[in-house]
Amino acid sequence: MRILGILTVKDEASFLLEWLAHHRKAGFTDFLVFSNDCTDGTDAMLDRLQALGWLTHVRNDGHAKGPQWAALKQAAGHPLVAQADWIMVLDVDEFVNIHVGDRTIPALLAALPQATAITLTWRMFGNGGVVSLPDTPVTETFIHAAGDPIHWPWRAVMYKTLFANTGRVTPGVHRPKGDFHWFDSAGRRLDGGPQRIFSALGAQNHTLAQLNHYALGSMEGYLVKAARGRANRDASAFDLGYWVERNLNHAEDRSILSLRSGDLRAGLLADPVLGPLHRAGQAWRKARFLALMQDEAWRALFGRLLMATPSRALTAAQARLVWSHAVQNG
């Protein structure tokens, strides 16, 4: 069985090797990776990984306002997509975390044999008070996450879709186009498919699997991410509001560490090309942060992050109050 992960990256040299090692252990057999306008050596890492047989690298430069959409348009006609049995579109800050069997995607598929599309709901991991850029695995550094269930915000329970190659399918950022038998990561059948791009609020969504989403990272790293911009829209939303909606630290969750990928990561770091490129990427990220600190607007945002407390969970009643206004306004 061929399981394909589609990834779009820009300036992610610090995180790439951990992400690949984890997802190879999780059962992905192929990776189709698009890079755009990298300045930290990520594209050079991908060239080396392609030479080592780890992935297929496609350069996707020059799409400043929508590189991810441009990449998915290319992916739809790529031979790897045609050859795959199952496909998933992911970001480098998203880690598949399976809770059944041997914790791999084949185990999840065995648990849902009727499914041809499975929505893996995000579990949002907060900053945990980490200020400086660490050169340690993301999955070991950030261990505090949103509760399950959570009542608000809806962005904390968005999902990405693992879907079968049923013939005529078009990959999408959150869900594909095509005809599928839909289930969610709690094992619930979704008759007619999901109606929104987020899972049920106020319900447990992670019984069989979850998608660990490390949207914030360290405070220093968040500023570098904000300066880089977003993969599928204009760079305008990485602000304190984005931070508050995602800095959820209500529960400790180390479950992903049960799928041990340290040996694969260590092997990649030991490569004479990849190891130095990883370290150079980490140095680039630190230098980028220091450069941003020369600008008052970035210093102000950094100060606000240091001042901000972890976001509290809303009660069901408070969430209903928010939703009531949405209903009133149509």
- How do residues 155-184 score in pLDDT, each as one tens digit? 999 999 999 998 888 899 999 998 999 999
Q: What is the mean pLDDT of residues 16-25?
A: 98
The 3-state DSSP composition of the chain as helix, strand, coil percent (nearest 5) reads: 35, 20, 45
Over residues 38-67, the mean pLDDT reads 91
The neighbour count for residue 117, using CB atoms within 10 Å, is 24
- Residue 11: partners with Cβ closer than 8 Å, 6 or more residues away: 38, 39, 40, 42, 224, 228, 281, 284, 285
182-184 vs 117-124, strand pairing mode: parallel
Determine the pLDDT at residue 66: 78
Ranges of H-type helices in 26-179? 42-51, 67-76, 79-83, 105-111, 138-141
pLDDT band at 328 (very low <50, low <70, confident <90, very high): low
pLDDT of the residue at 235:
40
Here the tokens at position 254 are 């180390």
Tally the domains of the chain.
1
105 or 166: which carries more pLDDT confidence? 105
What gap in Å lies between CA 20 and CA 6, rounded to an integer?
11
pLDDT, average across residues 312-321: 92
Side chain identity, residue 290: L
8 A C-beta contact, residue 54 and residue 19: no
Confidence check: pLDDT of 63 > 90: no
Residue span of the structural domain in which 154 resides = 3-328
Kindly report the pTM of this predicted structure: 0.95
Give the chain's mean pLDDT. 93
> Is 139 in a helix, a strand, or coil?
helix
Asked whether the beta carbons of 148 and 123 are under 8 A apart, the reply is yes
3 state SS of 292 = helix
Q: What is the pLDDT of residues 209-226, one digit of tens each?
A: 999 999 999 999 999 999
Query: For residue 49, what are its two tokens?
Result: 């990984």
- Residue 326 binned pLDDT confidence (cut-offs 50, 70, 90): confident
Confidence of residue 236 (pLDDT cuts 50, 70, 90): very low
Identify the residue with better confidence: 253 or 177. 253
pLDDT at 293: 97
Residue 61 confidence (pLDDT) above 90: no
Which two three-digit tokens encode residue 69?
Answer: 């959409």
Model confidence at 124, pLDDT cuts 50, 70, 90, reads very high
Q: Give bridge partners of residue 50 from the DSSP assignment.
A: none
Looking at residue 131, the DSSP 8-state letter turns out to be -
pLDDT, greater one: 64 or 157:
157
Say which DSSP state 309 is in. Answer: P
Q: How far apart are CA 249 and CA 308, in angstroms?
A: 13
Residue with tokens 């990220």: 285
**Structure token digits, residue 308:** 């901000």
Counting residues of the chain whose pLDDT is more than 70, the rounded percentage is: 95
Selection from 45, 30, 27, 36 nearest residue 8 by Cα: 36
Confidence label for 68 from pLDDT (cuts 50, 70 and 90): confident
